[in-house]
Amino acid sequence: MKNKQEWFKSKVKQVPPEIMTEVQLSAGIIARIDRILKEKNMTQRDLAKKLGKNEAMVSRWTTGFPNFTLRTLAQISTALGEPLIKLAE
């Protein structure tokens, strides 16, 4: 088991920093969407309906690492009534 852990750690170290940052940002957005849905007692189906999207698409957003466009983030934020991203001033 330890060899697998060491192998994994060595592979993670090889990932370029900008890719790690992208994955971290995507994971943070996904977690924020999930938190807001729970706070508002909404389901992925509810969000999909508000967005006029297929429920499977919303599911893919929350289980993978999507490459969100700013437009999509704005649409999700509007549908949830909460900002997904807060910019530092």
Name the residue among 26, 68, 39, 27 with its Cα closest to residue 51.
Answer: 68
Domain ranges of the chain: 43-81
- Each of the 89 residues of the chain gets a pLDDT tens digit; together they read 568 888 888 888 888 989 888 888 989 999 999 999 999 999 999 999 999 999 998 998 888 778 889 999 999 999 999 999 888 87
pLDDT of residue 45: 95
pLDDT number for residue 1: 57
CA distance 75 to 16: 30
Give the position of tokens 């192998």. Answer: 7
Kindly report whether the global pTM for this prediction surpasses the value 0.75.
yes
